[in-house]
Amino acid sequence: MAEIFRLENVTKVYRNDKTEFTALKNINLSITEGEIFGIIGMSGAGKSTLVRTLNRLEDVSEGSVSFYGKNLSELKPSEIRKVRRQIAMIFQSFNLLSQRSVLSNVMQPLKIAGVSRLDRKKKALEMLKVVGLEEKKHQFPSRLSGGQKQRVAIARALASDPKVLLCDEATSALDPKITGEILDLLKEINETRNLTIVIITHEMSVVEKICDRVAIIDEGNLAEVGEVKEIFRNPTSESAKRLVFPSNPFDPSSPDSRLIRVAFDGLSAGRPFIADLVEKTGKKVNILCANTKSVGGVGYGQMVMELPENKEDQETVIDFFKSSGLSVQEVERA
């Protein structure tokens, strides 16, 4: 697949009088055509700054951002405007015009682009049908639910036939049920229109539901990047572990005890690993917490368990799980 974005050694520094703040530090990553790419981090991590470099709403202090091989910092203003027409954005706050109807809101970017009224109305109706809101075309935003407003925002973004859709915390203001519906819609649009989608979020559940790959940003640094399924199974950075590991309210029962996390996918979920462990090794573990979830449409599960106090027994248990094809990682004490 073609590479849409390439970021090389991207650093962004904000300067104010005699102070400065580095929002991004030496970021290197690429985003390919047709994928759903997640950018996740806590508030203030730098993820929104990062996404704003993709359409040059933010100029980088060092490094380069390329769009289909063109360095954005080297483009003329007229060329940047052409690039931005290929990169649409939706936001947490929807940004709809309250005094205009749903249809008029979706038509607005086409009007700015100089499209004839007949053609922009036809295109807007087509996009409202895509998001399932054709019957709401004469309503005003104040009469819509949060989920419906976001659907209108998506229709408006799609109206100009962009190559990329940037979603900046687009589901943060929605309840879990509506969030799921919006994410399903984005996934369908990605598959049917081959639209590349970049999702900025602080919620790992959003990334796990629809993203193919994810970049984890922590205090301006790129902590980890890779396939979502692999990062769930085997996170390597501390930032990824904080996002992926289940919260564990229990402390080990002994200072000599160890906690491990075992992860498995849907293909192995039906195997009785704990029973097999006891039968084949005679060793027992204490399960402290467990959950299952869908990651990219595949069922995954994880358990945090306390190992026996004896060190040899601990290694026996770990070796058993690893030899069974499971991902095993140490869980640090709180």
Mean pLDDT on 112-123: 91
Pairing assessment for the beta strands 164-168 and 87-91 based on DSSP bridges: parallel
Work out the pLDDT band at 131, boundaries 50, 70, 90: very high
Q: What pLDDT score does 270 carry?
A: 63
At 228-241, the pLDDT tens digits run 989 988 899 989 98
16: tokens are: 């104010």
Distance CA 273, CA 250 (A): 22
Distance CA 275, CA 18 (A): 64
SS3 for 291?
A: strand
Domains of the chain (ranges, CATH numbers): 3-234 (3.40.50.300), 245-331 (3.30.70.260)
Distance CA 259, CA 243 (A): 17
SS3 for 57?
A: coil
Does 151 have pLDDT greater than 60?
yes
At 170-182, the pLDDT tens digits run 888 888 899 999 9
The answer, as to whether pTM is greater than 0.75, is yes
CA-nearest of 108, 86, 88 to 97 is: 108
